Amino acid sequence: MTTTLHGVALVTGGSRGIGAEIARTLAAHGADVAVTYRSNKEQAEEVADQVRALGRRAVTVEADAADAEAVTAAVDRVVRELGPVRILVNNAGYADMTCPPLAEVPLATLDRTLDINVRGAFLTAQAVARSMPDGGRIVNIGSCLATQVPAPGFTPYAMSKAAVHGLTVGLARDLGERAITVNQVAPGSIDTDMNPADGPSADFQRGLNVFGRYGRAEEIASAVLYLASDEASFVTGTTLTVDGGANA
């Protein structure tokens, strides 16, 4: 079955890695795509050019997910330039990959982790929902670390992604009467520039799953595509874990 999407998709943090692959995948299946980025306009514009090359409209918007005013302004601009958002992918995320001991976690790190991963996702969904058509789709990018933490140093990130689960099920109830589905994809170790497959902890991470490898960004994008499609119209408030069995 060929999946065909309709309308406008907004992918937060869509200038690189998983977000960029999601943007390209949604465009390849018929969606016009907006991506937000925090600092690298050149990367974001490259993704937009790839979307346009697929015959779809694209717009890039600078917006730090931790900045409430920027988030709202970004959604308003997307709606003005492309139309109401039918598919929202809350992908923007932050993780302190230095994994300091609990006693040494800076308050600024805790605040930024929660501001981007939780507060930013809530505010984006809230702003989008105001004009999202009935039957829309919201997909939050969570993490398998929300339910199982295999090593010390991940408390702020795991806590934030556990909150994304709560956000997902709460929004599913809030928006269900409008036939808007809200789900999350929970990736495991995915080969990106933030967590490369040749990084210092790569061997440990590969050993956590049953396949002994990192996942690929396109494997996450495929999961998002399903949840954004008409085929998933009776799926809401649930988590699709794509972690190679790390949490099995």
- By annotation, the residues acting in catalysis are 157
CA distance 115 to 113: 6
| Tokens read off for 80 | 């003005």
Q: Count other Cβ atoms within 10 Å, centred on residue 231.
A: 12
**Nearest alpha-carbon partner for 181 in 169, 192, 172:** 172
Cα separations (Å) of 184 from 58, 83, 189, 225?
Answer: 24, 24, 16, 12
3-state secondary structure (DSSP) of residue 60: strand
Residue 19 CA to chain centroid, in angstroms?
Answer: 6
